[in-house]
Amino acid sequence: MARIFITGSSDGLGKMAAALLLGEGHQVVLHARNEQRAEIARKANPSAETVLIADLSSLTQTVGLAEQVNRLGQFDAIIHNAAVGYREPNRITTVDGLSHVLAINSLAPYLLTALIHKPSRLIYVSSGLHRDGDSSLRDLNWEKRPWNGFQAYADSKLQNVLLALAVARLWPDVFSNALEPGWVATKMGGAYAPDSLQQAPLTQVWLASATDPQVLTSGGYYYHQKPQAVYPDARNVTIQQRYLTQCKEFTGVELPA
């Protein structure tokens, strides 16, 4: 059985994935942004090992979360699930002066990847909207562009794929993959989302715990457990490196080679 850490697992797909993994007998550590949501996570999945608390909009708290995870010891897999949506009409600024979408959706998984002891598997929850992302990587923090929540979200989901594929290339000892769960009726997706909510957490569970030969590979992108094409620029090594450089500039932390 595997030991798995899931960010953003107090509700939505993170909570659902945790329940499935616990049901299969795996050891799962949950994450919530505050104590109130941590209590919700505990009640939803009472057999989880523990719940770690950190607000991923804060770089300091995200670094602290990595430290909490490392104190717990080694993990077999980490599912980078936490994210915010795109319905806010204005740019929300974090304590670090960052766009909250950039901080939570993009920089948090980068920091956690860089700082947590390498697991065997890394899974990044992206979106089909990554194909609408801007691969120029200009103005990631939305300081010059007029705010567009949809575009900021699409950009962040492309950045998740860039990170997953860069890690797959740079860390040959880790299986690093990304996925899209589909547009489903979670709090983020909205009540009228058309895809299957039951199927939405299955791919991340499969990537984190299965032993199929297809899972024991790296650099893939999946939808409902089947390989899918990514936006071609996501596989461009120059763009990947440019993104990693910008993440280092924002966070002060370099992804280990």
User: Is 157 an active-site residue?
Assistant: yes
- The secondary structure of residue 235, as a DSSP letter, is G
What's the rounded Cα separation, in Å, for the pair 53 and 34? 6
Beta pairing partners, 78: 5, 122
What's the rounded Cα separation, in Å, for the pair 46 and 59? 29
User: Which pair of tokens denotes residue 244?
Assistant: 């990693």
User: 1: which residues sit within 8 A by CB, 6+ positions away?
Assistant: 24, 25, 26, 27
What's the rounded Cα separation, in Å, for the pair 10 and 81? 11
Catalytic residue among 86, 110, 124, 157: 157
* Buried-state track 114-151, b at ≥16 Cβ within 10 A, e below 16: bbbeebbbbbbbbbbbbbebbbebeebbbeeeeeebeb
What's the rounded Cα separation, in Å, for the pair 248 and 160? 15
Catalytic residue among 86, 110, 153, 243: 153
Active site residues: 153, 157
